[in-house]
Structure 1
Amino acid sequence: MRILIVDDDPFAGAMAEAILNAEGHDCLLVENAVEALDALGEERNGFDLVISDMHMPLLSGLDLFREMRDRGVAIPFVLLTGDDPEPLRAQAPGLAACLIKDASLEATLPAAVAGL
């Protein structure tokens, strides 16, 4: 699966990328939502999934999700957060998943991606 990872924290982004690369996925890591929208606009990338951090400068992960949907981009979207995921799920019922960004991510992220 071709996955776009969006995270302004280089360590967290690299960790998500390493987890998914180990599962055999092809990942592109970008630092913010603006770069993500640019990458999504390039048809040659052909992403199957977007995984984004919630709290980022410029646009949050939820803002990115909403902007993608406003542009007609219906790629499944997984939101990663350090906050309680339930209120975020309620704000954006179209999310494929909303996962806690903690030590359990090594298990929860591959499981969520496999479930798509």
Structure 2
Amino acid sequence: MRILIVDDDPFAGAMAEAILDAEGHDCKLVESGVEALDALGEEHERFELVISDMHMPLSSGLDLFREMRDRGIPIPFVLLTGDDPEPLREQVPGLAACLTKDASLEVTLPAAVAGL
């Protein structure tokens, strides 16, 4: 699966990318919502999934999700957060998954992607 990963923390983004690469996915890592929208708008870039950090400067993962939907981009979206994911799951319909960004990500992220 071709996956766009959005995370302003290079270490966290590289960790998500390594987890998914090990599962055989083709990933592209960008550092902001603006870069993500640019990548999604490029004709030669086709993504089947977007995985984004929640807390980023200038625009959050939720801002990115909403902007994608406003632009008619229906690609499944997984939100990663250091906060409790339950309220986000309830408040934001349409997320493919909302996962805690912690040590369990090595298990939960591949499982969420496999479930799509």
Output the TM-score relative to the length of structure 2. 0.98
Root mean square deviation, CA, Å: 0.5
SS of equivalent to 2:44: helix
Name 1:91's counterpart in structure 2. 91
Q: How far has the Cα of 1:91 moved from its partner?
A: 2.2
Shift of 1:88: 1.0
Say how many residue pairs are matched.
116
Q: Which structure 2 segments of 5+ residues have no match?
A: none
Q: Comparing 87-96 with 46-55, which one deviates more in the overlay?
A: 87-96
How far apart are residue 79 of structure 1 and its match? 0.1
User: Structure 1: where are the runs of 5+ without partners?
Assistant: none
The correspondence of residues 49-64 of structure 1 with structure 2, limited to 5 A, is 49-64=49-64
Give the drift of 1:14: 0.1
Structure 2: distance between partners of 1:108 and 1:43? 31
**Percent identity among equivalent residues?**
87
The runs of at least 4 consecutive aligned structure 1 residues that moved more than 4 Å come to none
Q: Deviations over 1:2-44 (max 9, x none)?
A: 0000000000000000000000000000001000000000121
**Residue 44 of structure 1 aligns to a residue in which SS?**
coil
Question: Equivalent residue for 2:2?
Answer: 2
Tell me which residue corresponds to 1:76: 76
